[in-house]
Structure 1
Amino acid sequence: MSAWLGATLVAFVLIIVLLIIKQLFWNPRLKSVKNKHVVITGGSSGIGKCVAIIAARHGANVTIIARDVQKLEAAKNEILHACENKDVQRVEYLSLDIGANYENVEKALADLEKTMGPIYMLVNCAGIAICSKIEDTTPDSLNKMIHINLLGTYYCIKAVTQRMKASREGVIVLTSSAAAFLGIFGYSAYCSTKFALRGLAESIAMELRPYNISVTLSLPPDTDTPGFAIEELSKPLETKLISQTSKLVNPDVVADKLFKDALAGKFFSFIGLDGFILATLCSGMSPFKSISELLLQALLMGLLRIVSAFYLICFDKIILNCITTRDKNKKSE
């Protein structure tokens, strides 16, 4: 009996290992963007610019959207140098505040399609993070994140879906954050907008699947971008220490994974072991790409809940240590 139990346990572990290897390292067949129109918001820097460069290398016609014209022009030159065929491919930019007014976004994207062709792939990378405890968060900061992170993404998707549905093809990417899986000290406003993007992604994935339009939710960890450098300036100490429990990732790595996962039709796009743990643990009612992915989530979800508890205990200790240190410093003053 004990031998049978031992063999069953070994087989169970082996199955999980094989499923993990398949999930993390198997490269599925990717859709082609060659000669197709790829639009990236937040494309003048960071992850967005890296995605635009990758799309250009794969033969796509690329449009980047942001507000700063000088940054857009500089990014356009970089993307042009990356083109697979510089004589054929087109690279353009559009200066637009995507979160300000839907009618402006709709008109701008409709006009863009007239000159650059139908949008096959929309990658929403525009975003901002302003960190502070909830009592220190200003209404202006909250509104800014809602408009850029949530409304900007929502407006752009709304503006392109009808034409994508008519052509019965398309790829839509929403760049959220690992903070869409767990609330983090100092991120009350930011997490609210990123959690909202997950709800948006799950909803439109269900709406658009019958029309051969795939939806991918990118969930990058802290990434070494100009935006992250600005974000660091407003982070409370607790938030910085919690962030330091995971490594800072290069934007090229995030962009490459995002691009491949989107063209493979995956719903979640995550980075590394931490990302895998969070995506598996929090998969819930999210779409799944394959039976093997579903089985892996079902087999590991309970176990990973225990693992997550250790993370939460670690974060609580960090917060309590910061409070204790501040109290001691106040008494000594």
Structure 2
Amino acid sequence: MILAPWNVDAWNSLGERRRRDALPHAILLAGPAGLGKREFADAFAHALLCESPRANGFACGICRACKLVVAGTHPDLVRVNFELRDDGKPRTELTVDQMRTLSERLALTAQFGGAQIALIDPADAMNHAASNALLKTLEEPTPGTIIVLIADHPSRLSATIRSRCQRIDFRVPETKLALQWLTAQGVDGRQATDAMNASDGNPGLALAWAQGESLKLRGAVAQDLRELNAGVAAAFDVAQRWSREEADLRLRFAASLVQQQGRAQAHGGAMLSAGGPLALTRAVDLVKLTAWFDRANRTRDLLRGPVRPELAMLELLAAWAVAAAPNHDVQQRST
């Protein structure tokens, strides 16, 4: 397995701890989706269970243990992911029953006589009861077990659980390195730059979006915001459309576009003279723009709960006209 180049240092650090027999009982892999946390976790678990790991710390790929890992049948590797509901759809949280089952499993002796590895993904989707159940396991670790928690939003984990884990942060790499990696994956030129802008520098997301239709969707979101600002589109119509398909991704793109628009205005120069990504050719109130950015992200969180998405979208988009109004327009309204 080949890791993303920006994750090599973290891999070498864990490898050194393994050589010193100083691996922690619990590890938290934290950072935005798209930076390779899950590939890292799989490679790490595979290497720990391998009977003849290579000098670089990776699994050999040919021993009995490696073959079982690849087949998904290794008895000492436990994966805790979203289960299916009775209607066949995946749950949106990890449950207390899953954590209790995990605790019982880890209390048993490893069948191959080595380590037992548990991968919990996404750990930040545990409900309160599940978190409490896992905490008991973390506070009373079974010898020879390693629990790896994978979280795109580590702040959603309880502070107590975070304090029980050795944390490894996955951060957005330097733009030059990310673009080199994208080029190696077959994405180059303007598309790579557009994808990096859309993903706020996250190369994994940039690759996925460049290979799919997401960049077109981002362009459509930008057009909707421009038309709302120009008064040629109705917030109600846009809200209905956004709430029906790819609601979360549309909101993510909207927030990102507004953030980039704010940067364009703050820095001035050619990007502002061209109107920025939203073609706002006149300066707007950056405080209001930032507030709308925050509101868009809060709306993303709201949509994970029992709310009517079209109403949440409508409130957000109705506020866009005020947020995007030029400074002098805002002042005239207040007088």
Q: Same fold (TM over 0.5)?
A: no
TM-score, reference length from structure 2: 0.29
